[in-house]
């Protein structure tokens, strides 16, 4: 089987070194597995002058290989054992084919559908640090004059595959750790809220309101996402407040109020020992969510911009939600009354710029409120 193609020039040693440095630089800053798959595939394609290169990852739950070929495109999935990449994964072997159509392992049906003509394929498994196959590096169609992959190409792609195994394992491990952290943080926050008999969705709503306000204010997606994860922890210090105060149906007396206000400092102390960015952010939020723009809040009486933006945002998210919910000490307010309070307190309790954002984003805020509405069954 032959196909005419426009041959590309052979790669010089200098080309190779340049492209390796370029891709290592790109990969070093990438923390997202899917984006990394695309970069690694581009690297392999350039290293061996292939037409296409794909980095497949094994999904053990389904017995499939999956990949992303470009940002924003859906995942592509194939069963392990099917096709050349599938065979390389299943049998843990390097497969080099320089005449695809005469090889029985090659499945011509894909080419038939796409009109693409596959001439040659290299498929190389790669491994996690424990030596388990986690994916396959696959290059298709050599694009220089020879039209065939050489031993050298295989060597280069093997080096790329070794590197890929290391980098992808590290990133997947990191993502797993971060996912676990987020779950633990969320569970802690829920546990804290359960003591004050606040229904489960309070922390979800505060998280989403906070992110929305952060984005509307102009913080980056990363900062907004960090705040979404951290803001549910704002009241974690309440776990140290005795039931007699926390669950008192009526107004607190002066001594009880002193105890209650300490939930900000307790939360800050609990969280500020950690080096983790999410917990450090949560520590700031716990400390500063009852500060007021006019300096009359607690525990430190900070004023204006001296209150961290995350504290100013969570203050609004928290009060918006507290007012709209039943508490042991009060009934829920209706929306008009809540909105008048925010207008009155603009520039007093709350950052005036953020109140503008609250009103600009009100439709979306109400959508969140609706989506995470508490169901009022008594338990």
Q: Could you list the active site residues?
A: 238
Site for ligand SIN in 82-101 (CB under 6 A): 83-85
Q: In this structure, are residues 18 and 40 in contact, taking their beta carbons and an 8 Å threshold?
A: no
Residue 207: closest CA among 47, 317, 333: 317
d(CA 285, CA 317): 12
Neighbours of 186 (CB within 10 A): 16
Question: Which option in ligand C2E, ligand SIN, Fe ion, none does residue 197 bind, with CB closer than 5 to 8 A by kind?
Answer: none
Site for ligand SIN in 11-70 (CB under 6 A): none
Q: Which of 47, 157, 284, 355 binds ligand SIN (CB under 6 A)?
A: 284
Q: How far is the CB of 32 from ligand SIN (least distance, A)?
A: 22
Rounding to the nearest 10 degrees, give the CA dihedral for residues 268, 271, 275, 280: -60
Residue 49: closest CA among 158, 116, 159, 146: 146
Residue 97: closest CA among 144, 159, 47, 154: 154
Site for ligand C2E in 323-352 (CB under 6 A): 323, 327-330
C-alpha distances in Å from residue 182, one per residue of 66, 189, 213, 227, 232: 25, 11, 20, 12, 11
Tell me which stretch binds ligand C2E (CB under 6 A): 14-22, 81-89, 149-157, 319-327.
319-327
Tell me which stretch binds ligand C2E (CB under 6 A): 68-76, 149-157, 159-167, 314-322.
314-322
Tell me which stretch binds ligand SIN (CB under 6 A): 81-89, 128-136, 155-163, 182-190.
81-89
Residue 319: closest CA among 294, 299, 339: 339
Q: How many CA atoms lie within 13 A of 5 on its CB side?
A: 20
Tell me which stretch binds ligand SIN (CB under 6 A): 17-25, 77-85, 191-199, 200-208.
77-85
d(CA 113, CA 18): 37
Tell me which stretch binds ligand C2E (CB under 6 A): 4-12, 52-60, 225-233, 247-255.
247-255
Q: Which of 118, 141, 231, 264 binds ligand SIN (CB under 6 A)?
A: 118
Site for ligand C2E in 168-197 (CB under 6 A): 196
Which residue, 156 or 228, is less far from Fe ion as judged by CB?
228
The DSSP bridge partners found for residue 330 are: 327
The DSSP bridge partners found for residue 56 are: 136
For position 11 contacting ligand C2E by CB under 6 A, the verdict is no
DSSP secondary structure, 178-230, as one string: HHHHHHHHHHHHHHHHHHTT--THHHHHHHHHHHHHHHHHT--HHHHHHHHHH
Site for ligand C2E in 282-311 (CB under 6 A): 290
* Strand, coil or helix: 32: coil
Q: How far is the CB of 299 from ligand C2E (least distance, A)?
A: 10
For position 248 contacting ligand C2E by CB under 6 A, the verdict is yes
Q: How far is the CB of 341 from ligand C2E (least distance, A)?
A: 6
Residue 354: closest CA among 202, 206, 207, 218: 218
For position 260 contacting ligand C2E by CB under 6 A, the verdict is yes
For position 252 contacting ligand C2E by CB under 6 A, the verdict is yes
Site for ligand SIN in 125-154 (CB under 6 A): 140
For position 223 contacting ligand SIN by CB under 6 A, the verdict is yes
For position 235 contacting Fe ion by CB under 5 A, the verdict is yes
Angle at 300 between CA 295 and CA 303, to 5 degrees: 25
Q: Which residues bind ligand C2E (CB under 6 A)?
A: 196, 248, 251-252, 260, 290, 318-319, 322-323, 327-330
Q: Which residues bind ligand SIN (CB under 6 A)?
A: 83-85, 106-107, 110, 118, 140, 219, 223, 284, 287, 308-309
């Amino acid at each position: 089987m032959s196909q005419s193609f426009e041959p590309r020039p052979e790669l010089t040693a200098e080309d190779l070194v340049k492209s390796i440095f370029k891709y290592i630089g790109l990969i070093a800053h990438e923390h997202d597995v899917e984006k990394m798959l695309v970069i690694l595939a581009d690297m392999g394609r350039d290293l061996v002058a292939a037409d296409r290169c794909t980095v497949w990852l094994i999904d053990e739950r389904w017995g499939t290989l999956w990949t992303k070929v470009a940002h924003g495109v859906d995942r592509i999935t194939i069963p392990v054992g099917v096709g050349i990449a599938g065979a390389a994964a299943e049998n843990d072997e390097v497969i080099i084919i320089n005449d695809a159509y005469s090889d029985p392992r090659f499945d011509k049906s894909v080419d038939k559908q796409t009109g693409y003509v596959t001439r040659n394929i290299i498929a190389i498994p790669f491994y996690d640090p424990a030596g388990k196959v986690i994916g396959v590096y696959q290059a298709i169609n050599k694009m220089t004059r020879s039209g065939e992959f050489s031993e050298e190409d295989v060597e280069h792609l093997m080096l790329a595959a070794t590197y890929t195994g290391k980098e992808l394992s590290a990133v997947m491990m990191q993502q797993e750790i971060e996912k676990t952290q987020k779950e633990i943080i969320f569970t802690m926050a829920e546990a804290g809220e359960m003591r004050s008999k606040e229904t489960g969705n309070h922390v979800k709503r505060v998280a989403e309101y906070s992110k929305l306000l952060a984005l509307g204010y102009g913080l980056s997606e990363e900062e907004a996402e960090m705040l979404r994860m951290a803001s549910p922890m704002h009241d974690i210090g309440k776990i140290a407040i005795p039931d007699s105060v926390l669950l008192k149906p009526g107004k607190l007396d002066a001594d009880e109020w002193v105890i209650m206000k300490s939930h900000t400092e307790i939360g800050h102390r609990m969280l500020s020992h950690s080096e983790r960015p999410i917990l450090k952010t949560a520590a700031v939020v716990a400390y500063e969510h009852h500060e007021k723009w006019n300096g009359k809040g607690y525990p430190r009486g900070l004023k204006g911009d001296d209150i961290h933006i995350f504290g100013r945002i969570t203050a609004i998210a928290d009060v918006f939600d507290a007012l709209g919910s039943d508490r042991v000490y009060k009934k829920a307010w209706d929306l008009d009354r809540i909105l008048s309070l925010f207008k009155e307190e603009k520039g007093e309790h709350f950052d005036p710029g953020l109140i503008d954002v609250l009103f600009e984003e009100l439709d979306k805020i109400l959508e969140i409120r609706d989506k995470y509405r508490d169901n009022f069954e008594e338990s």
